[in-house]
Structure 1
Amino acid sequence: METLVEVKNLRKYFESIRAVDGVSFRVNRGEVLGFLGPNGAGKTTTMRIITGFIDADAGSVTIGGDDIVHAPVAAKRRVGYLPEGAPLYGDMTPRGFLSFVAEIRDFRGREKDRRIGETVEKTNLGSVFDQPIETLSKGFKRRLGLAQAILHDPEVLILDEPTDGLDPNQKHEVRTLIQGMAVEKAIILSTHILEEVDSVCSRAIVIAEGRLVGDGAPAVLRTKSRWHNAVTLSVRTDDGEVIRSTLAKLPGVASVDLMAGSNGSTRVIAYSKEGESILNTINQMIRDRNWETEELYVEQGRLDDVFRAMTTGELGSLTHDHHHKWNP
């Protein structure tokens, strides 16, 4: 696959603080990369380096083969950037602002009008097109920021919290727009919303204290959760301890939590050893004991669990996806 963004061994210091510490990754055409990390992890700094807003102290960034330092104009032509708190001119209207952006991008006449029209339609800004920006809601301002990022149809999109401030319907619209654009582009988006990673991203990287600690498809990262292949079971019985202790003795079961039941039922969660499948074993036990079950399902794993473990050091680095990981 064609690599559109290549980041090699980026380092950035602010006095004694290591904001970015040896980060390396690639993004291919067709990928939507979720950029995850706690506040202060180095996400926004990395994005600013990739887009050429600030310089790295070491390392390199290439956009479609153009180095962001040595060929900045060529590299930046390929990029659309939605920064955190995108600056907008309050006394302008969206019409005036997008016209200004289009002219900066060297579009004139019919081509300028065509691009503005398509962008306004994609971002649903028509109802506020001639309203002063300072009077717009946070959601409309965010959509206007996204509009300026996609107006020139760039190959690479860098989106810092693209759905911040949007209501649920607007979030759905923006996510659908991102998915629709992803086929021909490489998209990097930072988000604190793990549901967004599941619904939009084909891959995610996790950064903590300036270092990359995880890289993989959401489904792969989820397998590192203690909830991966855990089985939740409700049985019609008052004797929860018998259910718990019986399941705990099964091969492949690491531990069993007894949860609050209701109306004469017992609810338990059985965690598997190293994520192996324990459903068939538990099903056999249910048949052997003639348990009357009310609920039985298998967890795929929880991204919030993996995120917390990786960013607090409870789980080791997961960057085994060598197809994507750059090795110096």
Structure 2
Amino acid sequence: MGHVTFVTHQSLRDKADFSKDFGSPEIVAATMIEIEGLTKRFGPVTAVAGLSLRVGKGEVLGFLGPNGAGKSTTMKMVTGYLTPDAGRVSICGHDIETDTTAAQACIGYLPEGAPAYGDMTARQFLLFIAEVRGFKGAAAKARVAEVVEKTDLGPVLEQPIETLSKGFKRRVGLAQAILHDPAVLIMDEPTDGLDPNQKHAVRELIKAMAAEKAIIISTHLLEEVDAICTRAVIIDRGSIVADGTPGELLARSRYHNAVTLTLAVADADAVTAKLKTLASVAQIERKVTGADVRLTLFPKSGALLVEAVSQLASRENWALKELYAEPGRLDEVFRAITTSDAARAKAARG
């Protein structure tokens, strides 16, 4: 019999009340990014529509949405590179419009595309960023050495940035974002262009930094949410359509607590008949692949099925190739609550 897999997600969000009670001293202390009523229009198109959000110290927020949902526009307004039509943003207590320098001093920003001066070497560029951030001489060199080690840039440090691969360019961008050890990190697709090993290394770096920072990661990789995020926000057409821990979003999936068994086709009918006797089973789906069949059992009202199914399989001595419980499928939740690219394009055409 195969193993049973359980996935548990923990969220630092439970440690603070991110409600509308802006007056709570505990919330004010915990909140590092505060967004209220953020709105941006481009002609007749509303890219961001009254978006409100709070991110506290210790949170890694996955910012998700389809193409054109308003993710990059929101991040540009949060970092002060784009002026909103309405609303406000506060970073560590500094208003991004009226106290821009102080707010941006608290931010490490990795924008889409990781723009840099291509004719500079990676070392020259990072030293330049260190000086812009106020570090001089030995202090600047020390900061550069630290981020080079964290991002594994040593092998390409003396190469012009324009000659680097997409993955190394992305790591140069990440290095400049964390160089001044900012309290707030805002990153647009931080693992874009990286191979699996590099992605793992960057995710481990983000997790290592997370306890002392507030981090927002815009990504289209749903695996990234499961790997590093303590909370996920999904936006569509410029508005928030879901906000919760990864576990809470997975609980909205049809596959939450579903159980899948794989066995020989010859045994499928008998096994299916026995499974239908379980009171907590709402539906059974079958998929045949060669000589095997995969049975997926969906629970009634979110009931836990795996223990009852496992006990039944043991009593009946079924020859199972695998048996596992599903936490849910984030891609299914994402598709269910967001607008498809085709529908969005049709709406834009009127």
What is the TM-score with the length of structure 1 in the denominator?
0.89
Match of 1:180 among 185, 193, 208: 208
- Aligned partner letter, 2:248: V
Counterpart residue number, 2:301 = 274
Aligned to 2:46: 18
In structure 2, the partner of 1:216 is 244
Q: State whether residues 248 and 270 of structure 1, in contact with CA within 8 Å, keep that contact through their aligned partners in structure 2.
A: no
For residues 194-233 of structure 1, the aligned pairs below 5 Å read 194-233=222-261
Moved more, 70-79 or 284-293: 284-293
Matched, 1:310 2:323: no
Is 1:299 equivalent to 2:315 in the alignment? Answer: no
Query: Do the aligned residues in 2 keep the contact of 1:244 with 1:258 (CA within 8 Å)?
Result: no
- Larger mean CA deviation between 45-54 and 228-237 belongs to 228-237
Post-superposition shift, 1:150? 0.7
3-state DSSP of counterpart to 2:301: helix
Report Cα offsets for 1:160-187 as digits up to 9, x if no partner.
0000001111111111111111111111
Q: What is the CA RMSD across the aligned residues, in angstroms? A: 1.9
Deviation by residue 1:190-224 (Cα, 9 ceiling, x = unmatched): 11111111111111111111110111111111111
Alignment of 1:256-271 (within 5 A): 256-260=284-288, 263=291, 266-271=293-298
CA distance in 1, matches of 2:316, 2:129: 70
Question: CA 1:117–1:235 in 2, change beyond 3 Å: closer, same or farther?
Answer: closer
Matching residue of 1:29: 57
Letter in structure 1 aligned against 2:284? V
Is structure 2 residue 124 aligned with structure 1 residue 96? yes
1:45 and 2:83 equivalent? no
Paired residues for 1:69-108 under 5 Å: 69-108=97-136
Separation in 2, partners of 1:173, 1:288: 44
Conservation of the 8 A alpha-carbon contact between 1:253 and 1:278: yes
Structure 1 position 248, deviation (Å): 4.2
C-alpha separation between the residues in 1 aligned to 2:92 and 2:61? 16
SS of corresponding position for 2:40: strand
Gaps of 5+ in 1: 314-328
Alpha-carbon separation, structure 2, partners of 1:280 and 1:79: 47
The secondary structure found in structure 2 opposite 1:275 is: coil
Percent of aligned pairs with the same amino acid: 55
Partner of 2:19: none
- Give me the whole-angstrom Cα distance separating, in 1, the residues matched to 2:154 and 2:208: 20
SS where residue 97 of structure 2 aligns? coil
Paired with 1:293 and 1:95, the residues of 2 have a C-alpha distance of 56
Contact kept? 2:232, 2:245, Cα under 8 Å: yes
Alpha carbons of 1:98 and 1:248: their partners in 2 closer, same or farther (altered >3 Å)?
same
Work out which of the residue numbers 116, 120, 127 in structure 1 matches 2:144: 116
**Offset at residue 89 of structure 1 (A):** 1.0
Q: One-letter code of the match for 1:80?
A: G
Q: Is the 8 A contact 2:234 2:242 kept in 1?
A: yes
Question: Any unmatched runs of 5+ in structure 2?
Answer: 1-15, 17-29, 341-350
Distance 2:143 2:132 in 1: 13
Aligned residue type for 1:228:
H
Alignment check: 8 A CA contact 1:6 1:26 kept: yes
The answer (yes or no) to whether the contact 1:6–1:27 under 8 Å persists in 2 is yes
